[in-house]
Amino acid sequence: MNKLKKIIKENRGFILFLLLMSVFRSAVADYNSVPTGSMLPTIVPGDQITIDKLAYDLKVPFINHSLVRIAEPKRGDIVVFESESAQMRMVKRVIGLPGDRVEMVNNKLRINGKALSYQLTNKQANSINELLPQRPHAIQLEQPEGTVYDSFSEVVVPKDQYLVLGDNRQNSADSRVHGFIPREEIIGRAEKVLLSFDYDANYLPRTERVFQPLI
């Protein structure tokens, strides 16, 4: 016991630093590794993205419990959440807000009765610009033959829940698979790429993606 006290006393500055860093990462800001391509072309596998945990809530450190709601997720935000349905942390884009009516036909969205506009940006990369109001962004369509998830009938987003989709529309397990996302599952908003490592090139860093904004 005396030996433990001595170790703590001799290293109290370092221990305090670790504690403060843990609180900071738990309640203020953190980073998350993205191993899959479900958010291509916006987020590339190997990206380490920053998370603003104060974007929507002031939370109790170390647990995902909100003390005060600061703001609500906006349409087009990229949110990080702990999905109870999927049993994992996920990163997706907010498409439908509480009360919205959303449907999709052949990968084209209609929100509250208004069809979104789309622009072909890169035919070779199957990249299309989805003109989401206030937050246009690129989506990727990999399978010209289509998938069973390319269309869904109109749904109404319940109170305190959100409809989220991956930007890689035909290769993303999102609200089409796991349903609406409860507000309390949302950890924070993805802001930018901190670092990026190319899995196919011996994890060499992609310097061109460092500090690239996501929204």
Positions marked catalytic: 38, 92
Nearest partner of 215 among 26, 21, 55, judged by Cα: 55
- Alpha-carbon span 79 to 162, nearest angstrom: 10
Quote the DSSP letter at residue 143.
-
Q: Which residue, chain included where needed, has tokens 């800001």?
A: 29
Q: Is 185 helix (H, G, I), strand (E, B) or coil?
A: helix
> CA separation (Å) from 149 to 69, 84, 146, 173?
33, 21, 8, 10
Q: Which residue, chain included where needed, has tokens 């498409």?
A: 95
- Alpha-carbon span 170 to 37, nearest angstrom: 11
> CA separation (Å) from 137 to 39, 113, 167?
11, 20, 8
- Alpha-carbon span 215 to 135, nearest angstrom: 8
